[in-house]
Amino acid sequence: MEILVLGCGTSQGVPLVAHDNPGWDRGEPRNWRTRSSVHVVIEGHHVQVDTGPEFRMQCLSHAVDEVDTVILTHGHADHILGMDDLRQFCHARGGAAIPVYSTEEGLDRIRTIFPYAIGKTKVDGYVNLDLRDMPEALTLPGGGIVRSTLLPHGVDVLGLVFEEPSTGARFAYYTDCKRVPPAARELARGVDVAILDGLRPEWHPTHMTVDEACEAAEGIGAGMTYLTHMTYQVDYATYSRKLEATHPRVRLAHDGLRLKLDRRVA
């Protein structure tokens, strides 16, 4: 299984536009964060998780030129506003619609914002998106499995666990959540890699702080956990040092981070 972190920034991106961003080190490339998103290749099938405002540039920067299935964790702007650019992937597939899975809230938002892009028929040479409810277990072409659970974030957010039968690899992606409920923790238990929401040091009503994310990481017990959806306050160098000393199995993600999981070669 291959995981590519396209973005690991909070909803406003990092740095904040029109702000001073005190303490933010612009000279550290891993402190520049686009909106949170991952691309997963599982049994050769390309799954795009979320399509934020920078989706097009993320694909160009990191050489993503194939999308077979899309999963939208929820309907917030920072996770869906790049969806229009999916139509080029549809076009490149020569006529096949791309299935887009989400929650009821996520699909409602898509219907409101992108009504012209929905349906299975060609319109003006473009092929449209095929909206579907995310099931608890989705078996993809090729045999990869994506299990879903709901995470609390004001709205329900899809927590996703990817399982690749041929390699035994397992990966959990839990962005945008105030906590990891017991059912989600059990679903992800012992995964090779987990990516968790770790917004900032200070408390927030709908996101986990860095400390809360570290506690959730301990409950899941992943081989390695990476934090995502971070603000400018989570300086890459400072927090990498802190975590190395206190939580050696937790690291910060960065845009462009690539991970390859295969239990046969572990």
- The residue within the footprint of Zn ion, chosen from 33, 39, 46, 76 (CB under 5 A), is 76
Residues 123-182 that bind Zn ion (CB under 5 A): 176
* Shortest Å, Cβ 103 to Zn ion: 12
How many C-beta atoms lie closer than 10 Å to residue 113's C-beta? 15
Burial (CB count within 10 angstroms: exposed 0-12, middle 13-18, buried 19+), residue 229: buried
- The residue within the footprint of Zn ion, chosen from 11, 12, 21, 166 (CB under 5 A), is 11
Which contiguous run of DSSP H or E holds residue 139?
strand 137-139
User: Per CB under 5 A, which region of 69-77, 143-151, 217-225, 234-242 contacts Zn ion?
Assistant: 69-77
Which contiguous run of DSSP H or E holds residue 107?
helix 104-113
* Shortest Å, Cβ 153 to Zn ion: 5
Closer Cβ to Zn ion, 75 or 144, answer by number:
75
Residue 192 near residue 169, CB atoms below 8 Å: yes
Residue count, binding to Zn ion (CB under 5 A): 4
Q: Which amino acid is at 244?
A: E
- Residue number of the CB closest to Zn ion reads 76
* Shortest Å, Cβ 192 to Zn ion: 24
Is residue 78 at the binding interface for Zn ion, with CB under 5 A as the rule?
Answer: yes
List, edge to edge, every strand of the sheet that includes 129-133.
129-133, 98-102, 69-71, 45-49, 37-42, 2-7, 258-260
Q: Which residues bind Zn ion (CB under 5 A)?
A: 11, 76, 78, 176
